[in-house]
Amino acid sequence: MANHYRSSASHPWHDLAIGSDAPNKFNAVIEIPKGSKVKYELDKETGMLYIDRVLYSSVVYPHNYGFIPQTLCEDNDPLDVLVLMQAPVVPMSFLRAKPIGVMQMIDQGEQDDKIIAVHADDPEFRDYDDISQLPKHRLAEIRRFFEDYKKNEHKEVKVDEFLGAELARKTITDSMAMYDENYLPKRKR
């Protein structure tokens, strides 16, 4: 009997398309489900998830958290995204998301902005178009989570401002361009 296996696996960062309507709507890969204390991280070499750590603080991820494929940021990682929706999803699921804002953040001295998005197909969240439409308390919870989740590890995180959908789309566009510059083959001139 012939051995039918693939010699290489698909990689969620590089092989999953961002989506033809990006940056207005895009695919997001969820690494960490809402309510989790486990910090899963994409292994860049294999494309699989590994357990980076269990959070040291008594907090859980307030929403589904992951990355936007075919993007690259200054920290050499894909662009992070927090997706607001009604339910937690299984790690390595992907879904259509709509950006409503960006949370500017410094993590241990490095810029590490997070796109705040809604699940584009969730009837409870899909009608939000800008972060200014969210209840103030929800933003306070998101801010507090990111300010606290590394405190007991003695790591410094500073959350700056929450900015709107227009700047979120620009952040996505810039990270798409950085990805293209660093990963797509260059044409001979």
Burial classification of residue 93, based on how many CB atoms lie within 10 Å of its CB (0-12 exposed, 13-18 middle, 19 or more buried): middle
Segment 14-63, tens digit of pLDDT = 999 999 999 999 999 999 999 999 999 999 999 999 999 998 888 999 99
Residue 90 tokens read as 């299984």
**pTM score, two decimals?**
0.92
Measure the N-to-C terminal CA separation of the chain; round to a whole number of Å.
49
pLDDT tens-digit readout, 86-124: 999 999 999 999 999 999 998 887 888 999 999 999 999
Three-state secondary structure readout of 123-165: CCCCCCCCHHHCCHHHHHHHHHHHHHCCHHHCCCEEEEEEEEH
- The confidence score (pLDDT) of residue 4 equals 53
pLDDT at 44: 93
Amino acid residing at 42: L
Tell me, what's the pLDDT at 188? 56
What pLDDT digit, counting tens, does each position of 73-96 carry? 999 999 999 999 999 999 999 999
Q: What's the Cα-to-Cα distance from 145 to each of 38, 55, 58, 90, rounded to whole Å?
A: 14, 11, 10, 21
